[in-house]
Amino acid sequence: MNFFKKWFGSNLKNKEKDTEDDFMKKYLIVGLGNIGSEYVNTRHNIGFKAVDFIAKEADAAFETVKLGTLAQVKIKGRTLLLLKPNTYMNLSGKAVQHWMEKEKIARENILIITDDLNLPFGTLRIKGKGSDGGHNGLKSIQAMLNGTEYPRLRFGISDQFKKGQQVDYVLGDWGDEETAALPERLEMVSKAVKEFVLAGLNNAMNNYNGK
């Protein structure tokens, strides 16, 4: 009797540990952007372009789901859920919170990919926490998660606009030189995301910040 109790108890604990390990091997990679054909090639939609690039590398297709579109990619035993919210930028947090809760993904296992005016074009900066920097998508996520401690990858779009033209610049299309450079820059984003998933936040920051 004690043997069976001990064996079944141990087996149950192992199953619980396996389940916990499975959750820790699941990541939510969120590309921020706005839906609609008019926004496809805008600077503000670099998050969408980034997850599109990662999905294409893995030959994964997006499916329409609640609050967005989702693609699933497997990398060395890890599951990456690539999410493009369809809530428009200002309500991005609703989609992030929903899929974190639905898939039981830990906060440290999400990565938000977004544009940043304060970085030179194509420059990457990964952080585990920080302010929203005036970015409406990050403001929404911060409000829904009730805090600023969540990993994010910022992609520099530079600030080459005249006074009063910020909105037009952010929602404007990439220039010819930027468009030509984007594939190489998106490949760098993909490598940084994989580093984050496989080696952790600190390694990703050490190896890709400023790249």
What is the arithmetic mean of pLDDT over 44-55?
98
179 HSE (CA, 13 A, CB side): 8
Q: What is the pLDDT of residue 20?
A: 52
The reported pTM is 0.89
What is the arithmetic mean of pLDDT over 186-193?
98
Structure tokens at 13: 């604990």
CB of 92 within 8 A of CB of 31?
Answer: no
Q: What is the pLDDT of residue 5?
A: 53
CB of 61 within 8 A of CB of 49?
Answer: no
More confident position, 195 or 163:
195
Domains and CATH numbers, the chain: 26-208 (3.40.50.1470)
What is the arithmetic mean of pLDDT over 3-9?
54
More confident position, 65 or 24:
65
Q: Which of 26, 43, 44, 135 is an active site residue?
A: 44
User: CA nearest 94: which of 41, 49, 152, 136?
Assistant: 136
pLDDT tier at 70, thresholds 50, 70, 90: very high
CB of 112 within 8 A of CB of 141?
Answer: yes
- Residues 74-132 pLDDT 10s: 999 999 999 999 999 999 999 999 999 999 999 999 999 999 999 999 999 999 999 99
Q: What is the pLDDT of residue 79?
A: 97
Q: What is the pLDDT of residue 12?
A: 55
CB of 90 within 8 A of CB of 136?
Answer: yes
Q: Catalytic site residue 135?
A: no
pLDDT tier at 13, thresholds 50, 70, 90: low
